[in-house]
Structure 1
Amino acid sequence: MPEETLLAFDYGAKKLGVAMGNTLLKQARPLEIILEATRDGRFARIEALLKRWQPERLVVGLALATDGGEQYASQHCRRFARQLEGRFGVPVVLVDERGSSVEAQKITGHEPDDAVAAAIILQRYFDALT
C-alpha cells in the first residue's frame, strides 16, 4: 500500500474534531477543533487544512446507534462526507464512531475532546487495514 496522509473528522453540529495521520506509521494524532459558526467558515477552515496537509483520503466518523443501526445523526455524517468529497474531490471513508467520545473522555480525564475522538476514529481506520 502506498503511503497516504489522511485527515479524519468527528462531525458535530457545532464543532468538528480533526485528526491526522499516515498509512506508513498508522498512528493518528489530534489536530484541532473547528468551532466556526457558519458552514462557509467551517469549509474555509477545512480547505486550509487540506492545502496544508494535502491528504489523499479523508475519514469521517459515522454516528450509529448502539445496536449498529442508523440514527438521525447518521444522515448528517453521511451528508457531511458527501459534501467533503464533492467540494474537494478527495475520497472519503466512513468509519463507525460508536464509543469514540467516551474513549476520548477516558483519555483526557475530562469532557470529551472532539480532536481526540477524531484521532480514535482514524486509529480505528488504520487498525482495520492490518
Structure 2
Amino acid sequence: MSSVYLGFDYGSKRIGVAVGDSLTRSARPLPALPGPDWAVIARLVAEWRPAALVVGLPLDEDGSEQAITGPARDFAAALGKRLKLPVYQADERYSSRAADDALREARASGRMQRRVRKGDRDGQAARVILEQWLLENV
C-alpha cells in the first residue's frame, strides 16, 4: 500500500511544496506559498492526507548551519505541533541547484512553454528534497 508525503522547502520569502508517494518514490511540485500560510497548509494536509511531512534542512556544503537553518527547524516543529503529523527533516544541500537544472531542462525540451516564475524553483526544490528523502527512507 502506498503512502503520500508532503515536502517543504522553507524560505524567508516563499515555501516550496511538493507531494510524493512511497510506491513510485517520486514527487511533483505544488504551488509555492508566500510564507507559512497555515490555512493553506491545513487544506493541503486535508486534501492529500499525508502519512508524514518532510522539511528541507538548509546546510552549508561542509554541513554547518546557515542563518535560515534555525527558522527552518522552527517551521518543522510548528508543522508537527499544529498538524499532529510526523515531521522529518532532510538535508537539502544542492536541492536548489538540482531544481534549477530541472527547470532549465524542462524549458529546453519544450515541456515548459512559459517563463520560469519565482515560485517554480521553490516547488522544484521541494520536489527534489522529498524525492531524495523517499529514496533514502521509504
Report how far residue 9 of structure 1 moved: 0.3
What residue in structure 1 maps to residue 17 of structure 2? 18
1:101 equivalent in alignment to 2:96: yes
Identity over the aligned pairs, expressed in percent? 38
Gaps of 5+ in 2: 105-115
Q: How many aligned positions are there? A: 125
The structure 1 residue matched to 2:42, chosen from 30, 39, 47, is 47
What residue in structure 2 maps to residue 76 of structure 1? 71
Q: Which has the larger radius of gyration?
A: 2
RMSD (Å) for aligned C-alpha atoms: 1.6
Report how far residue 71 of structure 1 moved: 2.1
The structure 1 residue matched to 2:126, chosen from 108, 118, 122, is 118
Report how far residue 103 of structure 1 moved: 1.1
Shifted more, 55-64 versus 68-77: the winner is 68-77
The structure 1 residue matched to 2:57, chosen from 59, 62, 69, is 62
What residue in structure 1 maps to residue 84 of structure 2? 89
Find runs of 4+ consecutive structure 1 residues off by over 6 angstroms.
none
- TM-score by length of structure 1 reads 0.89
- TM-score by length of structure 2 reads 0.84
